[in-house]
Structure 1
Amino acid sequence: MPAYYNEDTKKWYCKFYYKDWQGNHKQKKKSGFERKKDALEWERSFLDKLAGSPDMAFSDMVELYLKDKELHTKLKTYKTKKHRITAWILPYFSEQAVNDITAADIREWQGTLKNAIGATGEPLSPGYMQNLVTEISGIFNFAVRFYGLPTNPCKIAGNLVGKKRKSIDFWTKKEFDRFISTFDNSDPYYIAFLTLYYTGMRIGELQALTFTDLDLKSGIIHITKTYSVIDGKTVITPPKTPKSVRDILIPAFLCEILEDYKKRYYKPLPETRVFQMSRQPYREQMKQHCALAGVKRIRLHDLRHSHASLLIELGFSALLVSERLGHESVSTTLDIYSHLFPSKQSQMIERLDKLCEGNYK
């Protein structure tokens, strides 16, 4: 593995031959290194990744993992993964060989997370730390499945940093009515918050709505896409999951409000977005009007929880709630909202007693 010095550029470079995945002999050249050592390390890293050896550097395995995720996950998911790994995992394990990282190393890393301070100046939340543990375990699972790593050390180490809270925040209808009453009826945010509360759609789904998605004569909103901003650019993608593509039936009063709102636009194009406000102003409006209404502050996403709790309070089944929210399965709905469904154990026993009365002695 020789490296070479370029007298003209005063830089080092490496040049070598290798076999690609089809068995073809190819030459690789990489230049621009300040030191001979750097050129040699780059060549070794390239050949390690090509061979798929579990003794490659952890940083090289991460590069392969992220390339795979870039191909097979949504852009926003990929960006989130890359940020978490770059900020909280790579700095600790970067140069270690993948197969040298032990369960003890993982436990020690988890200990550093407990004392870490995030970008907000606050300690990392248990939920965020759990996300990081899931991320690193995903990298090792990838190495086990595709690159011959015998075991995932994270499975032995376990989770020492805590779990996500299962509790959810939501408003009762009375609290929402107090909140919405602080808006002028002509305010676009008044209409947007009404739509969020009475449909349960995600904020990204609301932001992606175009006028072709509103079938107000039939009282239906078609959810076919979601809106996000990635690296400062607007991105419209399919919704979170396949089941998130759905039709939401809406009450007549909301149809009338949206119809009047549509008339404010002069000959809107079909692809014109219904609500064109960015995400941060929604948060600011919530903060301001929560204070005016004297109600507890909740997140934008908690309006979705508020809609679900309203449906449950009205006696609708988990299946109907699941379909309306676009959950992948009823089990997802029950996992989130099971504590909100009223217990009907007493009613069940009464009906069993009545059914079997006088039949058994």
Structure 2
Amino acid sequence: MNILSFTPMPPISTERNDKFMPAYYNEESKKWYCKFYYKDWQGNRKQKKKSGFERKKDALEWERSFLDKLSGSPDMAFSDMVELYLEDKKKHVKLKTYLNHKDLFRLWILPYFKDKAINDITAIDIRQWEATLKESTGKKGTLLSSSYMNNILAKFSGLFNFAVRFYGLPSNPCKLAGNLVGKMQKSLNFWTKEEFDRFISTFDKSDPFYAAFLTLYYTGMRIGELQALTLADLDLENGIIHINKTYAIISGQEIITTPKTTKSVREIYIPAFLCKLLKKHIKRYYKPQPDTRVFQMAKETYRNRLVNHSEKAGVKRIRLHDIRHSHASLLIDLNFSVLMISERLGHEDPSITLKTYAHLFPTKQNELVERLDEIFNK
């Protein structure tokens, strides 16, 4: 191998000074590379080599970036902090959540802040970025919704919190900038029992979607939980469905993983009519095994059927997830407690249930006053 230029290896250092950061040129590949020593988190001296750069400048920038991340410098490039943040997220959240974070940064945040040092990003920068976000459009050419923009902003703020906690950043500029994209508009969409009955009546009772939508409505399970159900999860003699996994397609691959939260692992008791219906549904499979999935239809076909049959029934269009809200609404109408509804839905905490459905619970103020009167008079 012929090397056009060579400089002795530098001492162990993470200083951002090019005189300590040589780059080398490979005559055979016609590419630049960097080669240097560093200390890992255990204090061990190691060598790092990275090749394939078109320019000497690119090799030096890669080395500088590597040493910045290693030392946890708060003046590292924003793109480097994003890489560290996403690496940490990947270890602690589900793959789907990690990919969602990654996509939001790639699409809406990195293009604007990529080349800035993270400690140079100010509240004014954030406000200017928020202004551009409000004028941005999505795939369909429409402006981004306030809920979607708030989701982006939450991920952005989460990165700064990470940098403050672990990399010495003085403060989170998102908190200083405030929210200019508009408060998230929380609207709960669901069907009443009468609306669901009109919807389900448009299906032939032999249609597998008839059994699937009835199961969704009368259990409140998530669509991924329904898709992951196997015969081993059904105890139809005792009227119990065991929820212990969820189904998703990520990057074209079918993924079976644990449910959304630890509380999502649960037992859902079901009525006799649903047990009878599921037994009949299972008979359509030839020699099913314990790991045979109960409902094998793709999520997109559920969406299509939901739209088509909503139009046939003349009811408002809702999302698949809104069938879960419809189940919660049904239980509230039947006067079940927040705690019982929370357990059935698999919420991590009853406060989540109350926060989501508080406005659906009927007021008990008059009843409360009457009871206080009774107690006083006695």
TM-score (normalised: structure 1): 0.98
Match of 2:223 in 1: 203
Match of 2:176 in 1: 156
Give how far 1:120 is off.
Answer: 2.4
Moved over 4 A (4+): none
Pick from 206, 220, 223 the counterpart of residue 186 of structure 1: 206
Match of 2:51 in 1: 31
Give how far 1:280 is off.
Answer: 0.4
Pick from 82, 93, 100 the counterpart of residue 102 of structure 2: 82
Contact 1:166 1:336 in 2 (8 A): no
Q: Which amino acid aligns with 2:155?
A: E
1:294-309 pair list within 5 angstroms: 294-309=314-329
Deviations 1:36-93 (A, max 9, x none): 1111111111111111100000000011111111111111110110011111111111
Give how far 1:285 is off.
Answer: 0.3
Deviations 1:330-361 (A, max 9, x none): 1111101010000010011111111111x6xx
Match of 2:120 in 1: 100
What is the rounded CA distance, in whole Å, between the counterparts of 1:112 and 1:83 in structure 2? 18
Give how far 1:164 is off.
Answer: 2.2
What is the rounded CA distance, in whole Å, between the counterparts of 2:66 and 2:371 in structure 1? 70
Deviations 1:258-314 (A, max 9, x none): 011111212211011000011100000011101111110000000000000011111
What is the rounded CA distance, in whole Å, between the counterparts of 1:205 and 1:101 in structure 2? 41
Pick from 256, 270, 274 the counterpart of residue 236 of structure 1: 256
What is the rounded CA distance, in whole Å, between the counterparts of 1:53 and 1:136 in structure 2? 19
Give how far 1:108 is off.
Answer: 0.8
Q: Does 1:68 align with 2:68?
A: no
Give how far 1:165 is off.
Answer: 2.1
What is the rounded CA distance, in whole Å, between the counterparts of 2:216 and 2:165 in structure 1? 42
Contact 1:170 1:298 in 2 (8 A): yes
Q: Which amino acid aligns with 1:214?
A: L
What is the rounded CA distance, in whole Å, between the counterparts of 2:264 and 2:228 in structure 1? 13
Give how far 1:20 is off.
Answer: 1.4
Q: Secondary structure at the match of 1:78?
A: helix
What is the rounded CA distance, in whole Å, between the counterparts of 1:274 and 1:246 in structure 2? 18
Q: Secondary structure at the match of 2:32?
A: strand
Q: Which amino acid aligns with 2:223?
A: I
Identity over aligned residues, as a percent? Answer: 70
Structure 1 unaligned blocks of 5 or more: none
Give how far 1:21 is off.
Answer: 1.4
Q: Secondary structure at the match of 1:71?
A: helix
Q: Secondary structure at the match of 1:122?
A: coil
Match of 2:157 in 1: 137
Give how far 1:317 is off.
Answer: 1.1
Contact 1:101 1:153 in 2 (8 A): yes
What is the rounded CA distance, in whole Å, between the counterparts of 2:183 and 2:270 in structure 1? 36
What is the rounded CA distance, in whole Å, between the counterparts of 1:351 and 1:70 in structure 2? 53
Q: Secondary structure at the match of 1:227?
A: strand
Match of 2:373 in 1: 353
Instruction: Count how many residue pairs are aligned between Structure 1 and Structure 2.
Output: 358
Structure 2 unaligned blocks of 5 or more: 1-20
Q: Which amino acid aligns with 2:176?
A: I
Match of 2:133 in 1: 113
What is the rounded CA distance, in whole Å, between the counterparts of 2:308 and 2:277 in structure 1? 23
TM-score (normalised: structure 2): 0.93
